[in-house]
Structure 1
């Protein structure tokens, strides 16, 4: 039996659920808080009046998604975890591999480790990745896929990038994520980015999703790339957090943070 909450606490929890899952039903909320559906409907009506939720048929949803952090803001978050993931990912590459690198701070950390890999060909839509690889003596062959710049993510998106991907194939793809959910897949703030992830995955043999522990199970936005059985989730999360991914046929590699450095 869940603890009995006051109306103010309950409404705050309802808002949190809506922001996390994107859509919350009256039935689900009534069961969770052990109150009647009528009580939940009154809560939703008050939250809608306050501008904190938008009513939907049978439930409610957050009035706005979370604010998307810029790439510069994300670089310092979970820094040791990102380095650990990047180190593991770099060790998977074999001489002669053609690789496509997605946008994101963890993928950029991987690019930094590939600066001296003259035996690789790397294609990317990420300005951060290009910056990491630019100027490396004896480094990999680098292809920029082009596109329209999204300044907040420092990534190129749109039909130009999609057209370039249609003409290429890769041995491995390394995808970033704002968050990742076993049921819905990779979560992003922009549909253009999720479309590119799908195309990257379609054009290669091995797909790796790089997401540290805090990104597991969250649903901050409403654009998704479905996960496909056989893909590999590389994370610092473990235990019950990653078990739903394994149940759906996703290979999970949990990287100890001690690997960073």
Structure 2
């Protein structure tokens, strides 16, 4: 297969899913890892893709773009695992916890298997599946119901009604983007409404988001930066982003995925 043919197929995959992984393209196209990386480099120079760790996404960051769960799950894997491991340490035994949909929160669910006595509310089918597989008799999992989105979130009136009747100690939210002016956003209007209801149900909001989410703006804001008690991200977060988040949130935790070590910034909260 010639390079232009491979690159055309890569663009087809990207258009269908919103994001592609190098490992998947190697399997699909039957070529080497290095060949795929060269193809992605060519497409990036032409402005047809945005290269990210382990793959590529559609360019431009359109506010309504919503990559599927499978596409997102392969991106920033080391960072997401490190963030999830650190976030799990914030959960006390016997807590009532809400977990939103997303690939970082899905990783978090896997790291909660050792925490006893949890009641977990989620609008994510993958998160519920992970928690069910752990088969702890002392755990209760409540799946909200709702209409399923490309990112495997259950959203809409059914999910919102369920969340309005519940009260939890802590909510963990993944985000499509976080921005100094836009706050925490998602490209899906119904998911934004559902996330707002989840935030309202909780005493404490923890946002889990890798550093590539900074500067991305989805169609709808569901919370201000200052609404988060804690943001857990990675050391790739730009210096300006660190300053902005430190001035707005109660605590900023930055995790080094290579070591698992964290640095914490806990200044007095700035003006809301």
| TM-score for both structures, normalised by structure 1 | 0.70
Residues 41-87 of structure 1, C-alpha deviations (whole Å, 9 max, x = no match): xxxxxxxxxxxxxxxxxxxxx9x646321100011100000001000
Is 2:125–2:152's contact at 8 Å kept on the other side of the alignment? yes
2:220 to 219, 223, 236: 223
In structure 2, the partner of 1:83 is 81
Query: In the TM superposition, what is the alpha-carbon distance from 1:185 to its structure 2 partner?
Result: 1.1
Q: Please, which runs of 5 or more residues in structure 1 have no aligned partner?
A: 1-61
Give the 5 Å matches for 1:110-259. Answer: 110-138=108-136, 140-150=139-149, 152-219=150-217, 221-227=218-224, 228-229=226-227, 231-236=229-234, 237=237, 239-259=239-259
Is 1:71–1:105's contact at 8 Å kept on the other side of the alignment? yes
Is 1:71–1:153's contact at 8 Å kept on the other side of the alignment? yes
Partner SS for 1:187: strand
Matches of 2:176 and 2:227 in 1, distance apart? Answer: 20
Query: In the TM superposition, what is the alpha-carbon distance from 1:249 to its structure 2 partner?
Result: 4.1
Matches of 1:129 and 1:249 in 2, distance apart? Answer: 26
Runs of 4+ displaced beyond 3 Å:
64-67
Is 2:206–2:228's contact at 8 Å kept on the other side of the alignment? no
Q: How many residues align?
A: 198
- Higher normalized contact order (CA 8 Å, seq sep 6+, divided by chain length): 1
Matches of 2:260 and 2:69 in 1, distance apart? Answer: 21
Residue 192 to residue 66, structure 1, CA distance change in 2 (3 Å): closer
Q: Please, which runs of 5 or more residues in structure 2 have no aligned partner?
A: 1-59, 262-272
Query: In the TM superposition, what is the alpha-carbon distance from 1:199 to its structure 2 partner?
Result: 1.3
Q: Please provide the CA RMSD for this pair.
A: 2.1
